[in-house]
A and B are shown apart, each in its own frame.
Chain A
Amino acid sequence: MNYLIASYAVVLGSILLYKAYVAREKATLKRSLAGFKTASPQESKAG
């Protein structure tokens, strides 16, 4: 029984961890792109 629970726990845990990692990467990149797009018009005005 313990081995069975361990199998399913490892699969579920790994998938959730990977999902969290990908979601964090996506959020970071979206923030970076949004920040760049906000900064660009100001830079062009200053330039």
Chain B
Amino acid sequence: MNSSTTTHWIDRNAAKLGTPSLLLALLLTAVWAVSVVTAPVDSAQGLIQKTLYVHVPCAFAAYMGFVITGLCGIMYLWKEETAYDRLAYAAAEVGILFCSLVLITGPIWARGTWGKWWSWDARLAVTVLLWFLYLAYLLLRSFSEGSPRTARFAAIYGVVGVPVIILNYFAIDLAGGRAMHPDNLEQGSLGAGMGMPFLLGVLAILAIFFHLLFTRTEVETLRAEELRTHLLSDSH
């Protein structure tokens, strides 16, 4: 078992990529902002449709966070390297941030188009389930002592959550026309001139996601280092 907090490739790269990822995120956000302002106004929904350029990318970032949590869970169970556990924890927290933003921007968009804040359709219900699932993951981590046993349990929990992400993505197809939520984008929901701001939105939000993930992972690495230093001093 490798308990080193300074030599693992995850720790090294998280510390190294913080500033470059911030610069990339700032650059992409600036370009994205211009493209959102200049994007065509939807004939049916009006300006409120531009919420799409932030709502869907936030959903992709949330998926990314939870998938990384699941993958790192598998890697932790396989290799028993604590760096994977730290990355899984950081990814779940950043994922929850973006999932919360999906659950905030969605109702705002719904109010502007459907006239009501919430509707219990399949996609919305599964998104709430996903949010609670990974919130419970974070609570489990914060209320436990960070032992290998907790890390193993959290790893299994993180992996078990992954099918809910797939269910969330295909919830509209599974609802079979009863969903209020628009179709997935590959089925042609985007109008002319809306592809570029959407793509830039995805790239900008993912750049922000990775910047937050790197810095949050660095915090976990420092926390582990601090704990190790205290344990070493107590043992002397």
Contacts and interface: CB of A to CB of B under 8 A. Distances in A.
Interface of A: 1, 3-4, 6-8, 10-11, 14-15, 18-19, 22-23, 25-26, 29-30, 32-33, 36-37, 40
A3 B112 contact: yes
Contacts of A18: 94, 97, 212
A45 to B, nearest CB: 14
Contact of A15 (B48, B50, B208): B208
A30 B111 CA distance: 44
A36 B229 CA distance: 8
Contacts of A33: 222, 225-226, 229
Interface of B: 47-48, 50-51, 54-55, 58, 94, 97, 100-101, 104-105, 108-109, 111-112, 208, 212, 215-216, 218-219, 222-223, 225-226, 229-230, 233
A8 B226 contact: no
Contacts of A37: 229
Given A26-B222, A29-B219, A10 B105 contact: yes
The 3 closest A-B pairs by CB, nearest first: A29-B222, A3-B112, A7-B105
B188 to A, nearest CB: 23
B218 A26 contact: yes
